[in-house]
Amino acid sequence: MLTTLKTVYTDTCAADLAWTLGREPLPALATLELELSDARMELRLLGASHQVILEEERGTCSETVACIPGSSTPLPLGVSKRLGEWEYEFAARVETLSRGQFAGRAQELLALVADHPRGLAGVFPGSPHAFTAMLAQRHEGVVQWRTWHAYPQDGQLVATRTRVGVRMPAVL
């Protein structure tokens, strides 16, 4: 699903992004609710980036990657945590692209997500290449999502990948 977000576009940058787990739902500009086998998932586009809420009988996982004033947790390159019965893995990378490369990559990502049944993308007014996009899937008991946050003024594209699955017992 592709939407134009109804908000004022503000020039933020990749360095302003922060990562947190466990936040309550923040006000969203667009949402997509998904049923993935026995899991319920909500992809949420915020004025400041994204939030994913995953609910399963084992518990809830809430991930927020956003420009939140006063946040003290910068965007990490990688995180691996145990959340109850789950293993949570997060990875992020920032690409700096030329103007032409950026425009091409933006079009490619928006086309990928726009018609995907488990995809949500929001374009910010004021720049056709300022967007946040998200894709989710479930495969063999593991829920995964990818996100892209575009900052055309700096030619920066932030890509994240998250994986949440049931912790497997150690085999001896």
| 3-state helix/strand/coil string of 38-105 | CEEEEEEEECCEEEEEEEECCEEEEEEEECCCCCCCECCCEEEEEECCEEEEEEEEEEECCHHHHHHH
Q: How far apart are CA 153 and CA 11, in angstroms?
A: 8
pLDDT at 84: 81
Local structure of residue 22 (DSSP, 8 states): S
pLDDT at 158: 95
pTM for the model stands at 0.89
Are residues 102 and 129 in contact, defined by beta-carbon separation less than 8 angstroms?
yes
* Candidate ranges 23-27, 33-37, 128-132, 157-161; pick with highest mean pLDDT: 157-161
Local structure of residue 113 (DSSP, 8 states): H
Q: What mean pLDDT value characterizes the chain?
A: 87
Are residues 26 and 44 in contact, defined by beta-carbon separation less than 8 angstroms?
yes
Local structure of residue 123 (DSSP, 8 states): E
- Judged against a pLDDT cut of 60, whether residue 103 lies above it is answered with yes
Are residues 92 and 75 in contact, defined by beta-carbon separation less than 8 angstroms?
yes
pLDDT at 9: 57
Average pLDDT, stretch 83-88? 86
Average pLDDT, stretch 130-139? 92
Q: How far apart are CA 80 and CA 108, in angstroms?
A: 29
Q: How far is CA 136 from CA 65, 90, 128, 153, 160, in A?
A: 15, 14, 23, 27, 12
